[in-house]
Amino acid sequence: LDQVATVNPTVAGSIVQELADQRSNVKLIASENFSSLAVQLAQGNLFTDKYAEGAPGHRFYAGCDNVDTIEAHAADLAKQLFGAEHAYVQPHSGIDANLVAFLSILATRVENGIIERFGRKNASALTDAEWAELRSSVLNQKLLGMDYYSGGHLTHGYRFNVSARLFDARSYTVDPTTKLLDLDAVRAQVREVEPLILLAGYSAYTRLIDFAALREIADEVGAVLMVDMAHFAGLVAGKVFTGNYDPVAHAHVVTSTTHKTLRGPRGGMVLCTSEFADAVDKGCPTVLGGPLPHAIAAKAVAFTEALSPDFAGYASRIVENARTLADQLQQRKVDVLTGGTDNHIVLVDVAASYGLTGRQAESALRSVGLTLNRNSLPFDANGPWYTSGLRLGTPAVTTLGMGAEQITEIADVIATVLAAVKTDGSSKAKYELDEAVAAEARSRTSDLLRDFPLYP
């Protein structure tokens, strides 16, 4: 850090400040975690200087032997961890992984047939007219994904995202009353839409999804089942989601981030059946540029950690803690969506419980040392900026070693603070919180953190 400070004191100062910040607030952001120092150090090294476009053993640059070793090793570990036929570890993020997946499904199921029909070797050998036909075929494909307000991700066909421009994107929602996915309704929609891709997975949904049933539904119309397990990859790796609930066992293509429940570096990956392997391995140049070999090194370290027997215990404690959080909040009359959780996320309706927006609740809780994020709820009247909900997650506090006692204390602080927040209805952002209540809550959160220090 001294060397960074010599060159740029602002950056060094922010790193130190970020550590202080993460140490002095309880992290309940469902998409974040604390990766190990081994992961962090593996990522901060001289591999960052290497270009290695292509794939292991097939690079467009010289001197990639060590990158080859690391990338092939990381892919092998990912295959082993998830029982996948094929793994591609280059995506820089979850969004990149989804783009690589989309384009490899399009290549495998749409483009290759057209190229073959014209008797060409590859897309660049097509005439302009043939290329125009290929492009219009590609752009007419249907994607059926989970609606953003029901918990799906932006990349699952939300109109503000490239996915809705690349595809004729349709969405399925949760049931308006139960807020649960209704697979009979999804089946009916799949039969009607006949999508190229049926996309499952979520950023904000708390119940198990039967991926075996979804595969059967996809197979009825010959659709590709793609699952984005960005949020719950750690629960798959830790064998909490098994059998019908294991996406890798049932989907054609599975994408993920590596930094959420999986507790690795920021990054993404694609797992797939052998049918899609060739196209997925062409992620660079189809979507990606040069890989980030330092991030791939850190992914390999994280996969090794996740393969250890301890990780399964960690994954099940994440879910136990989330269940405790949901129970304890409900005992304090907080409205928890679907009445509980099967994963690491708890969704709370603060509009129904307290007449607050998510934005007001998020700010009030952050002011007492609890970091979590506001979140849209199904059919949310407050829109994606103010929202009616909060999304809480237990991966990070579980990494710190917190259990039922601490989670109960957190639930009590949350319910006490939210009950004390006052608004005058003139704004969806402004609120007031009694200073005595805030001070008491702050002291309770710092007591908790003193016993569970980050990187002690």
Q: Could you give the C-alpha distances from 194 to 120, 219, 307, in angstroms and in order? A: 29, 10, 38
- 264 is a site residue for ligand PLP (CB under 6 A): no
**Contact with ligand PLP (CB under 6 A): which of 27, 215, 231, 374?**
231
Dist CA 360 CA 423 (whole Å): 9
Residue in 23, 120, 142, 266 annotated catalytic: 266
What x-and-dash track marks residues 102-121 binding ligand PLP by CB under 6 A?
Answer: --------------------
172 an active-site residue? Answer: no
53 an active-site residue? Answer: yes
Any idea how long the chain is? Answer: 456
Residue-wise DSSP of 433-449: E-HHHHHHHHHHHHHHH
- 161 is a site residue for ligand PLP (CB under 6 A): no
Backbone angles phi, psi at 267, to 5 degrees: 170, 180
Burial (CB < 10 A; 0-12, 13-18, 19+), residue 253, is buried
Among residues 80, 102, 106, 107, the alpha carbon closest in space to that of 91 is found at 102
Instruction: Tell the smallest beta-carbon distance from residue 420 to ligand PLP (Å).
Output: 31
282 an active-site residue? Answer: no
Among residues 39, 55, 33, the alpha carbon closest in space to that of 282 is found at 55
| H/E element, 433 | strand 432-433
| H/E element, 422 | strand 421-422
Q: Could you give the C-alpha distances from 173 to 155, 313, 320, 374, in angstroms and in order? A: 15, 33, 27, 20
User: Which of these segments, 92-100, 125-133, 182-190, 269-277, binds ligand PLP (CB under 6 A)?
Assistant: 92-100
Q: Is 153 annotated as a binding residue?
A: yes
- 396 is a site residue for ligand PLP (CB under 6 A): no
* Binding residues among 240-259 for ligand PLP as defined by CB under 6 A: 257
Instruction: Tell the smallest beta-carbon distance from residue 12 to ligand PLP (Å).
Output: 26
Q: Given the DSSP bridges, would you call strands 54-55 and 58-59 parallel, antiparallel or unpaired?
A: antiparallel
- 151 is a site residue for ligand PLP (CB under 6 A): no
- 31 is a site residue for ligand PLP (CB under 6 A): yes
Instruction: Tell the smallest beta-carbon distance from residue 102 to ligand PLP (Å).
Output: 12
Is the alpha carbon torsion for 375, 379, 380, 385 positive or negative? positive
| H/E element, 256 | strand 253-257
User: Which of these segments, 59-67, 81-89, 93-101, 430-438, binds ligand PLP (CB under 6 A)?
Assistant: 93-101
User: Which of these segments, 130-138, 226-234, 236-244, 427-435, binds ligand PLP (CB under 6 A)?
Assistant: 226-234
Dist CA 251 CA 227 (whole Å): 6
386 an active-site residue? Answer: no
Instruction: Tell the smallest beta-carbon distance from residue 268 to ligand PLP (Å).
Output: 6
Residues 272, 84 contacting (CB under 8 angstroms): yes
**Contact with ligand PLP (CB under 6 A): which of 95, 262, 297, 325?**
95
- 218 is a site residue for ligand PLP (CB under 6 A): no
257 an active-site residue? Answer: yes
Q: Is 130 annotated as a binding residue?
A: no
- Cβ-based nearer residue to ligand PLP, 195 or 267: 267
Instruction: Tell the smallest beta-carbon distance from residue 309 to ligand PLP (Å).
Output: 27
Dist CA 420 CA 413 (whole Å): 11
Dist CA 449 CA 215 (whole Å): 44
Q: 404-420 vs 309-331: helix axis angle to the nearest 10? A: 40
Summarize as ranges the residues that interact with ligand PLP (CB under 6 A). 31, 93-95, 153, 155, 201-203, 228, 230-231, 257, 268
Query: Which residue ranges make up the annotated binding site for (6S)-5,6,7,8-tetrahydrofolate?
Result: 152-154, 275
List active site positions. Answer: 51, 53, 228, 257, 260, 266
Query: Which residue ranges make up the annotated binding site?
Result: 152-154, 275
